[in-house]
Amino acid sequence: MSKIITDVVCPFCGTLCDDLEVTVSDDGKKLIDVSNACAIGAMKFLHSQADDRLTKPRMRNEDGSWRDVSYEEAADFSAKMLANSKKPLMYGWSSTNCEAQSVGSTIGELIGAQMDNTATVCHGTTLIAVQDVGVPSCTLGEVKNRADMIIYWGGNPAHAHPRHMSRYSMYPRGFFTAKGHRGRTLVVVDPRDTDSASIADIHLKVEQGRDYELLSALRVAFRGEVLPDVVAGIPKEKIYEVAEKMKKARFGVIFFGMGVTQTLSKNHNIDIAIQVTRDLNEYTKFSIMPMRGHYNVTGSGEVWGWQFGFPFCVDLSRGFARYNPGESSSNDLLVRGEVDSVFVIGSDPGAHFPFGSVKKMNEIPCVCVDPHITPTTVVADLHVPVAFVGVEVGGCAYRMDSVPIETHKVVDAPEGMITDEEFLNMVLERLQKIKGV
């Protein structure tokens, strides 16, 4: 026999779909099937059921091989490593719940850690741009209920956020958008011929790295000023045409991805994309939103915001919080050799950081808390597998529009396994003992 659990939240991408249905065995130990999820979301749930899944922490031997250790030993090692470091880096936090993030903050404060999340290699530039110019935005339901013009800039949602278009932007029929996709115009700005671009009404094939120019040209066009014949590979007629369509939209939105946040000009691209949106509010209603990747990278920035005042790159080493991306950002800290240990949780920097940083991680003591074997665990001295958040334990996560949603537990974790939060609490208790507080 089996039972169906509804309203399940997918702990994979920032789309944070909350309408999944999961079939589990009657005793709640086996996950049998997932419906409503996209392929990558379903995989995340099914992965938790893998037979070869690690269920015990493992410590690296001198010769590079692993030996199993208990969670107690793992917590002892982690606490000692953090306590003995002059400047530890605690990185990741994007694929775990806010409850774990909060315990992490308490640890970071106690030991004066450098705290950073995956925004540092993703939408950190967006966070900086918002600090420069603000951001006119909305919840995804506003898009669903009102938007008649959807723009994806520098991203390929069909692959990276597979249900984004069907749930929120292009296809849903909302309150003022009863015609669904027939009432909407889709523009994709991308140098590549992606699957998302192939269904667009207008595909602006911007020259690689020339997004800033194109955004700037749109601002010129809004004002009816003169453009050169071609900007960023796009003929001026096309730019005027799109600019006019944007001004005439009833409610428009720009979703942007790593194609603009991490290419030439970085935060300046986002600055001007936001200014484009500001301009458009002179004529109509327009919003702009980052396509946040990890399902709870947004939550990490929120939790640190209310606890420290900054969304990423938080330096706690002086007893109060400081923020200076470029100085207090993980890769800069690693490459300059400023940190002497790394504690990774809820992310895979081994796969996403530049080689130079990963090499440094290999040289200094490194703990990785992650349900999976990943490129990061390859350079770690201690790997602590934990329960899957959103599958084997619930907890709060923030969607890309900062809407907080509580993820749910749908099956038991394998016998004896603990959660991120529980493991962090074990480390915290030990640190409090070591520090005598």
Partner 1 sequence: MAEYIVKNGFVVDPTLGVNCEKMDIAIKDGKIVETTELKSPKTIDASGMIVMAGAVDVHSHSAGPKVNVGRNFRPEDKLNYYKAKSGVKRMEAGFSVPTALSSGYIFARMGYGFVMEAAMPPLYARHTHEEMRDTPIVDEAALPVFGNNWFVMEYLKNHEIENVASYIAWLLRVTKGYGVKCVNPGGTEAWGWGMNCVTPDDPVPYFDVTPKEIIKGLIEANEYLRLPHSMHLHSNSLGEPGNYQITIDSLKCAEGFKANSDFGRDQVLHHTHLQFHSYGGESYGSKEFESKSKEVMDYVNGTDNITFDIGQVTLDETTTMTADGPFEYHLSHMNNLKWVNKDVELETAAGVVPFIYNPNSFIGVAQWAIGQELALLTKDMTKCHITTDAPNAGPVHRYPRVIKWLMSLKARNQILDDCKYGDSVRSQCYIGEIDRELSFYEIAQMTRVGTSKCLGLSHMFGSLKPGMEGDVSVYAYNPETDDDPEKIEHAFGNAKYFIKSGELIINDGEIISNGHKRTFWVKPGMELTAQVNRDVTERFKKYYTVTQNNYEVKEHHYVPNPYVIEVNAA
Nearer to partner 1, 147 or 364 (CB): 147
Number of other residues whose CB lies within 10 A of the CB of residue 318: 8
Residue of 5, 32, 40, 335 that binds ligand SF4 (CB under 6 A) = 40
- The residue whose two tokens read 């040289």 is 363
Say if CB 196 and CB 152 are below 8 A apart. yes
| Segment interacting with partner 1 (CB under 8 A) among 48-56, 213-221, 238-246, 297-305 | 297-305
376 vs 419, which CB is nearer to partner 1? 419
Place of tokens 């799109």: 242
The one of ligand SF4, partner 1, none whose footprint includes residue 38, by CB under 5 to 8 A per kind, is: ligand SF4
**Options 402, 414, 432, 434; binder of partner 1; rule CB under 8 A:** 402
Q: What angle do CA 240, 195, 217 make, to 5 degrees?
A: 20
Binds 402: which of partner 1, ligand SF4, none (CB < 5-8 Å by kind): partner 1
Rounded to whole angstroms, the Cα distance separating 157 from 141 reads 17
In this structure, which amino acid lies at residue 97? N
| Residues 295, 18 contacting (CB under 8 angstroms) | no
Query: Kind and range of the H or E element at 425?
Result: helix 420-435
Residue 37 interacts with ligand SF4 (CB under 6 A)?
yes
Site track for ligand SF4 across 135-174, x = CB under 6 A: --------------------------xxx-----------
CA distances from 304 to 89, 289, 307, 411 (A): 15, 20, 5, 30
Q: Shortest distance, CB of residue 357 to ligand SF4, whole angstroms?
A: 27
Considering CB distances under 5 to 8 angstroms, the limit depending on partner class, which of partner 1, ligand SF4, none binds residue 10? ligand SF4
The residue from 179, 250, 359, 433 that contacts partner 1 (CB under 8 A) is 250
What CA–CA distance (Å, rounded) separates 157 from 294?
14
Check residue 166 for interaction with partner 1 (CB under 8 A): no
Order of all β-strands in the sheet with 202-204: 202-204, 185-189, 149-153, 251-256, 285-290
Closest distance of CB 405 from ligand SF4, Å: 10
Which distant-in-sequence residues (6+ apart) come within 8 Å of 184 by Cβ?
147, 148, 149, 150, 169, 170, 177
Q: Which stretch binds partner 1 (CB under 8 A): 136-144, 154-162, 181-189, 228-236?
A: 136-144
Touching ligand SF4, residues 349-388 (CB under 6 A) = none
Reduce the DSSP state of residue 20 to 3 states and report it. strand
CA 426 to chain centre: 26
Query: What is the rounded CA–CA span in Å between residue 394 and residue 405?
Result: 10
Binding site for partner 1 (CB under 8 A): 6-7, 9, 18-19, 98-99, 102, 109, 127, 130-142, 144-146, 167-168, 173-176, 250-251, 278, 281, 284-285, 287, 301-303, 305-311, 316, 318-321, 323, 395-396, 398, 402-406
Question: Where on the chain is the footprint of ligand SF4 (CB under 6 A)?
Answer: 10, 12-13, 15-17, 37-38, 40-41, 161-163
